[in-house]
A and B are shown apart, each in its own frame.
Chain A
Amino acid sequence: MQLLEGIAVSPGVAIGEVVVIDNEGFRIPTRFVTRDAVDEEVLRMQHAFDSVAAEISRNHERISDQLGVQYGAIFAAHLQMLKDPTLVNEVTGMISEKHHSAEYAVSKTLRRYAKIFQELDDHYMAERAHDFFDLEKNLLGKLLGRRRESLSKISTPAIVLAHNLTPSETAKLDPRFVLGFATEVGGPSSHTAIVAKGLEIPAVVGTGHFLTDVSGGDVVIVDGDHGQVILNPDDKTLHRYQEELEHHRSLAAELSVLRDLPAETIDGARIQLGANIEFPHEVNACRERGADGIGLYRTEFLYLGTDEEPTEEDHYRAYAHVIQSMGDRQVVFRTLDLGADKLGQLPRHEEENNPFLGVRSIRLSLRNLDLFRVQLRALTRASALGPVRVMFPMISTLQELRQAKMLLIDTMEDLVEDGYELKEKLEIGIMVEVPSAVLMLDKFLKEVDFISIGTNDLIQYCLAVDRSNKDVANLYRASDPAVLRLIETTIRQSNEAGVPVNLCGEMSTSPKYVPLLLGLGLRSMSVPPSSVPEIKQVCRSVSIEQCEAIAQRVMELESALEVDAYLTDQLRQIFPELAI
């Protein structure tokens, strides 16, 4: 058993077999073979060793001829490793004594050697770990042959482990079969984190190196509540986690009775509780969990995992599906919210020193009008199908809002000319997630139909903290009094102006902040589908009067620490099971 500490980015617990995504993306089909199959398995192993050896010999000759004996020498070394009796005995032993499959035995053994090398002090020697990964790759290639399973074809449930999942790799995975994620690097805002939350599967990132310690087929536990990954757990640990899974399930069942009940406080205030989604198929989860609508539909997925620019029809199909599935419930679309580095469709961008202060989100859209117009056309067309709102992300000046609005109006005129029937008015709003937008809010409120507070970016830009930087991540606190003041003034001014205000950041997914936010006057929130029942339960357990008293007290506090301690204590009194 081996315990790894990482950053918890998506809650829940998953237990299952491992799929390791390396450069090659091999999946080891089975860990064990039956006793009868052992001899055949050893033969398969020997055959694979022989044919890889033959291949290396050919390379040896070819390279020696072309480049000289010195260059061929590395192949001689590979060949000798492959024929090394220690190695062969070890692999054979794993098959004949422990009944492991040839693939598993090969992977486990070679990775063990790779790890020994990685741990050597000498840099040159540490690099030699690659030789073992090379050999592993070649042997597995021979062993699996046509049976080799590519990532897009994972067809049984598994836990995906990787150094760092790229958006395109994630996009290729079939979410039905992914039980959980763990990656060696990455932070809370990494793509893996967003996708995992979207899919409602547990995920842990930033654990540091561990891929040499696992092979496909090993059993692993991903604990997305505590940020832990446990490789090859012992029976006691496995049992404990199985019980925890059961507890999760029964709590979920308990909360599921809330599905058809409104998010309404004890004293009758109706809270709009929407869901945040990333993928169109998540509308099912929204309905099952009893969300009032979609408070945030992130449209980025259309751009990820492909180098082709999505067409207007690609956009339209996805949007139409979401709107039609939600019936008369509202859907709030957020236009493209990505940095240039994540978009394969754009020409190579210049390296930015500070991507988060650079060309991203609405700035990117306004600089790539062809790209933006395609999305706007599809959105506007789809808006005829149901109650739809359009929201522009990361607005930092009035000019940006006006430009974006003008483009949208242009698009509507074009569509009318093209013969489409549209609604007369499309509700347009902005994300308030840059402090400048809060400071200029009175002006913005005159030009929008609604606003939505995005706490993740607001916290980052208010406190000047990159939360994926572990040295300062502890400064990233939703409960920081400065952040709370920005939120308080945003809610108050919007309410005074009669402009609907929603909050869709991660802050609202933490039950302890809900009484505070209601007390500050918020009546609309949007959370991941998985959090809907929990947040609804909190809303139904409090009165506005009580919340206002809590908010008043909190706004007098001077540090995030005090705020968190106070709110946790309050939640414990309201709903003890949720106070962690």
Chain B
Amino acid sequence: MSADIQSNSVTITNEEGLHARPASLFAHLANQFHSQITVTRGEESVDGKSILSILTLGATQGVQLIIRAEGLDADQAVQQLSQLVESGFDV
């Protein structure tokens, strides 16, 4: 099976934005997948498995992000990560 590429656009809904705790949850989940994961805000793309990189995006409420995954479990990764963001990190 060849590597799959998936991507999805999501909007930050929770009030506090992508600060330490949510970013931590995101990176934690991203690390569960084998795929390479990038998060893009505007023209800036960062490693979705690195909490620091995610934090430096400075994504506040209302900001739109593109989650992109490349790898065998890309489909699952994009789906679960999108769900996490859209739920307002309510886990």
Contacts and interface: CB of A to CB of B under 8 A. Distances in A.
A86 B53 contact: yes
Interface stretch (B2-10, B20-28, B65-73): B20-28
B58 A77 contact: no
B20 A84 contact: no
A561 interface: no
Interface residues of B, number: 19
Contacts of B56: 113, 116-117
A317 to B, nearest CB: 54
A128 interface: yes
Contact of B24 (A77, A87, A116): A77
A131 interface: yes
5 contacts: A76-B21, A85-B47, A122-B60, A125-B55, A125-B60
Contacts of B19: 124-125, 128
A84 B51 CA distance: 6
A86 B47 contact: yes
Given A86-B47, A122-B58, A122-B60, A128 B20 contact: yes
Contacts of A128: 19-20, 55
A472 interface: no
A73 B21 CA distance: 6
A81 B16 contact: no
Interface in A147-161: none
B50 interface: yes
B58 A85 contact: no
Contact of B17 (A74, A124, A131): A124
Contact of A81 (B17, B49, B52, B58): B52
A78 B23 CA distance: 11
Interface string A503-534: 00000000000000000000000000000000
Nearest to A131: B20
Contact of A85 (B17, B23, B49, B55): B49
The 7 A-B pairs with the shortest beta carbon distances in the complex, nearest first, are A77-B20, A77-B24, A120-B58, A86-B50, A80-B51, A73-B21, A84-B52
Interface string B28-59: 10000000000000000001011111011010
A124 to B, nearest CB: 6
Nearest to A90: B52
A117 B60 CA distance: 13
Contacts of A78: 20
A374 B60 CA distance: 60
A254 interface: no
Contacts of A85: 47, 49-50
Given A84-B52, A120-B58, 9 more contacts: A80-B27, A81-B20, A81-B55, A86-B47, A121-B58, A122-B58, A125-B17, A125-B55, A128-B19
Contacts of A125: 17, 19, 55, 58, 60
Contacts of B52: 81, 84, 86-87, 113
Contacts of B24: 73, 76-77, 80
A117 B20 CA distance: 11
A120 B54 CA distance: 13
Contacts of B51: 77, 80-81, 84
